[in-house]
Amino acid sequence: MTSSNNLHHLSASEAGRLLTAGEISAIELTEAVLSRIEAVEPQVRGLVTVTAEQARQAAQEADKRIREGNATPLTGVPLVLKDNMCTAGISTTCSSRMLEGFVPPYTATAAQKLLDAGAVLVGKSNMDEFAMGSSTENSAFFPTHNPWDSGRVPGGSSGGSAATVAAGETLIALGSDTGGSIRQPASFCGVVGIKPTYGTVSRYGLIAFASSLDQIGPLASNVTDAALTLNAISGYDAMDSTSINRESPDYSRALVPDVRGMKIGVVKEMFGEGVEPQVRDTVLEAARVLEQAGAIVDWEVSLSLTEYALPVYYILAPSEASSNLARYDGVKYGYSWDGAADMWEGMERTRQHGFGPEVKRRILLGAYALSSGYYDAYYRKAQQVRTLIRREYEDAFTRFDVLLTPTSPTLPFGLGERTNDPLAMYLADICTIPVNIAGVPAISLPCGFVDGLPVGLQLIGPSLGEETIIRAAYTYEQATDWHGMRPELG
Ligand code: GLN
């Protein structure tokens, strides 16, 4: 029997079993998680909105559904959504002043699918403004703290989603990943995060940052829960023209502890300069665990274009952002500066006060790269290099089933440590950005601790190779104990 004071640390799959067996109710679980939020949120600050009333109501419906025998594996399971996913009737801010007070009239497809499955929304999570950042310090409201060390960042931009899962403020969460924003915070907070193949999860209702790279994915405390969540959110959506029209696989079938004969390539460029030695050693040790389990490991695979991924990303992502963010004009959504003499002044002042410094920096970078005279030198060139990077990954996957790297080159850094150095901040994503450029899937999972801080292992798969990386991750998880670790809080 599970005592009600630690229900918040159940995994979603354990909770599902207890719920369907009638050993706990969704109401009990929801109340346990809401009390946990109350207890630890002053320290973590991972949520911009707590939806306690809606959660209680949804929990009642979940209990009814369970009694009637209509439950899915996620019915009654507490959920947090990153605050860039639209939720009908619930404020959606992107952690920006620009969207303060914005209440969407509709719900993002991925979020709706989880609500339809019976998950219980307990809150919307803090993030870097418009998902631009790697530390959640670019939130216009407040920074989120790493649950393992409150003097450090939780990573970003889905820092609130990762921190709340780690802290037991929810059992599962959704994040979005344009250049690492699910995987890097998963790594920093010691949880599991998946960036699916581009087109696997609908982007309808996800507030756009860089549309050709953005992808929604799960954060959870273990691989099983991440796979169950991915099952619920993936699939074709006619409302997103880039969503892939195919039958979604059942990812839980990939939860098999067997990597015998699996070919794994260790990417040497991602263990070199800038990677902290303790991170490198911890991740290489994880590769040895997979080798012992029967994988065939090549320790020296070269992806020679790795160094170009970051410059390509910082041309393409800001270019797309400068176009996507042109819609914030003070007329259609959210914040609007009062007292302007005319429309132009109104638009200028709205943007001046509505956007934070990093968002402005990206809009400027993008507008410059796209402007006439520079387009060929920057934007077109970056697209060409993107194609080369994509081909290099395709080629590597003719030889390997999985590529293995650290998720982040460093341990979680201190709050404030990189806020005045955008380049140092951008370097946090050096191992994750190439994956978005190539459009392929990757998972981050905990693979050890250094000085009490979690280290993440990244496993990259070929396009639509989610099942392969889930199997490899599950095998690693079964062979180790890291996913059972919880931070001490409160
Ligand atoms: N940290 C990267 C950036 O600032 C990636 C962000 C993301 O994946 N949303 O753009």
- Per the annotation, the verdict on 221 as an active-site residue is no
397 pLDDT exceeds 70?
A: yes
Q: Which long-range contacts (CB under 8 A, 24 or more apart) does 334-340 make?
A: 334/96, 334/98, 334/99, 334/100, 334/101, 334/102, 335/97, 335/98, 335/99, 335/100, 335/101
Looking at the predicted structure, is the pLDDT value of residue 3 above 70?
A: no
* Closest among 437, 413, 407, 438 to 425, alpha carbons compared: 413
82 is catalytic: yes
Query: Rounded to the nearest 5 degrees, what angle is found at the Cα of 194, between the Cα atoms of 44 and 198?
Result: 125
Asked whether residue 100 carries a pLDDT value surpassing 60, the answer given is yes
Token digits for 3? 């005592």
Q: What is the pLDDT of residues 185-201, one digit of tens each?
A: 999 999 999 999 999 99
Pocket test for ligand 1, best of 82, 84, 95, 134 (most atoms within 8 A of CB): 134
DSSP 72: -
pLDDT tens-digit readout, 242-254: 999 999 999 999 9
Determine phi and psi for 155, rounding to 5 degrees: 85, 180
Beta strands in 281-350 (DSSP E): 296-301
- The C-alpha atoms of residue 251 and residue 443 are separated, in whole angstroms, by 13
Length of the chain: 490
Q: Quickly state the pLDDT bin for 332 (edges 50, 70, 90).
A: confident
Nearest of 262, 291, 303, 261 to residue 405 by alpha carbon: 303
Of the residues 95, 129, 132, which should be mutated to test ligand 1's pocket, given the most ligand atoms within 8 Å of the CB?
132
Q: How far away, in angstroms, is 132 Cα from ligand 1 center?
A: 5
pLDDT (0 to 100) of residue 2: 42
Query: What residues does ligand 1 touch, defined as CB less than 6 Å away?
Result: 131-134, 157, 177-181, 209, 317, 429
Q: Residue 312 Cα, ligand 1 centroid: separation in angstroms?
A: 13
DSSP track, 266-292: EEGGGGSTTS-HHHHHHHHHHHHHHHH
> Mean pLDDT across the stretch 166-194?
98
Phi-psi region of 218 (alpha: psi -120 to 50; beta: other; left: phi over 0): beta
Q: Which of 82, 113, 124, 195 is catalytic?
A: 82
Angle formed by the axes of helices 466-479 and 277-292, to 10°? Answer: 90
Residue at 231: amino acid letter: N
Residue 1 has pLDDT above 60, yes or no: no
| CA 178/CA 129 separation, integer angstroms | 13
Average pLDDT, the chain: 96
Measured in angstroms, how far is the CA atom of residue 29 from the centroid of ligand 1? Answer: 33
Per cent of the chain over pLDDT 90 is 96
Can you tell me the mean pLDDT for 291-295? Answer: 98
Count of CB atoms within 10 A of residue 364's CB? 12
**Phi, psi angles (nearest 5°) of residue 427:** -70, -15
Is 80 exceeded by the pLDDT of residue 490? no
Separation CA 215–CA 394 (nearest Å): 20
**SS3 label, residue 133:** coil
Q: Is 91 a catalytic residue?
A: no
Distance CA 8, CA 56 (A): 15
Residue 82 β-bridge partners: 125
Cα 175 to middle of ligand 1, angstroms: 12
Asked if 135 and 418 count as a contact pair (C-beta separation under 8 A), the reply is yes
Q: Give the separation between CA 237 and CA 291, rounded to whole angstroms.
A: 39
For residue 99, what is the DSSP state? G
Give the mean pLDDT of 90-99: 98
pLDDT score for 483: 86
**Which of 11, 157, 336, 408 is the catalytic position?**
157
CA distance 328 to 94: 12
Rounded to an integer, the average pLDDT of 156-182 is 98
Question: How much is the pLDDT for 174?
Answer: 99
Q: What is the pLDDT of residues 44-79, one digit of tens each?
A: 999 999 999 999 999 999 999 999 999 999 999 999
User: Which stretch of 260-264, 327-331, 407-411 has the lowest confidence by average pLDDT?
Assistant: 327-331
Q: How far apart are CA 324 and CA 261, in angstroms?
A: 45
- Name the pLDDT band for 124 (thresholds 50, 70, 90): very high
Q: Which two tokens stand for residue 315?
A: 């041309």
Mean of the pLDDT values across residues 216-230?
98
Per-residue pLDDT tens digits for 447-464 = 999 999 999 999 999 999
Residue 349 to residues 98, 140, 309, 328, 343, Cα–Cα distance (Å): 11, 17, 35, 11, 10
Q: Considering only CA atoms, which of 384, 372, 395, 385 is closest in space to residue 302?
A: 395
Annotated catalytic residue within 158, 176, 181, 319 = 181
Alpha carbon 318 to its chain's center? 19
The pLDDT, as a whole number, for residue 177 is 98
149 and 244 Cβ atoms separated by less than 8 Å: no
Query: Does pLDDT of 5 surpass 80?
Result: no
The rounded distance, in Å, linking the Cα atoms of 51 and 43 is 19
pLDDT of 426 strictly over 60: yes
Residue 484 has what pLDDT?
82
CA 317 – ligand 1 centroid, Å: 9
CA 297 vs. chain centroid, Å, equals: 28
Span 344-372, pLDDT tens digits:
999 999 999 999 999 999 999 999 999 98
Q: Is 444 helix (H, G, I), strand (E, B) or coil?
A: strand
